Structure 1
């Protein structure tokens, strides 16, 4: 497995540990349907929380959350709509980003709650 894949997996593991520590229930990790994917789907206080995880070694070039482009937001919203229909979920949905920066032994985690809203088509 490539080094960036290992870092990404470790970052996602750290994000899940953070969420569990903060009383989130993890419904799915790396949920896929066709070409659609959601990094983490969680629940907290009767709300479905879709979390995009971005892991980087450092922020020398850009902040990790800057990688969540409008195209990524649209694909995430489409995947979430598919998820809601497939599992027949009728609850409020929130879109968060968790950034994980550093090395596996010393990650810095930032949780951006309501990082984006579905765009108006």
Structure 2
């Protein structure tokens, strides 16, 4: 398993331990990818997981560009439409830098 997959596993376990439920993982469309689709009650939570090594270029929190945010929004909209879901949603980020995990609700 590569470091990105390990980071996604760690993020998923962390979110599940805090009451969220996994709906889907690694949802891919030609125009974007969703790392994790979770639910917190009625709210669909689209999660971007970023991983950086401690000696990498900056920490993981800084790794989400405006273009990536736009692609994730588009993919989430498509996911909701394809599954005929009419529910509130939000975009969270789990940033992992080395051993440090940071969960940012409503990241954008």
Relative to the length of structure 1, the TM-score reads: 0.83
Matches within 5 A, 1:10-89: 10-58=6-54, 61-89=57-85
Name the CA distance, whole Å, in 2 between partners of 1:78 and 1:52. Answer: 13
Q: Which runs of 4+ in 1 moved over 6 A?
A: none
**Relative to structure 1, is the Cα distance of residues 84 and 58 closer, same or farther in structure 2, using a 3 angstrom cutoff?**
same
User: 5+ residue gaps in structure 2?
Assistant: none
Give the structure 2 partner of residue 111 of structure 1: 103
Per-residue deviation, 1:33: 2.4
* Structure 1: gaps spanning 5 or more residues: 117-121
- The two structures, once aligned, show a CA RMSD in angstroms of 1.5
Q: Alignment partner of 1:58: what SS?
A: coil
Residues 77-86 or 30-39, more deviating: 30-39
CA contact (8 A) 1:59 1:101 kept: no
TM-score relative to the length of structure 2: 0.92
Closer, same or farther in 2 for the Cα pair 1:47/1:7, shift >3 Å? same
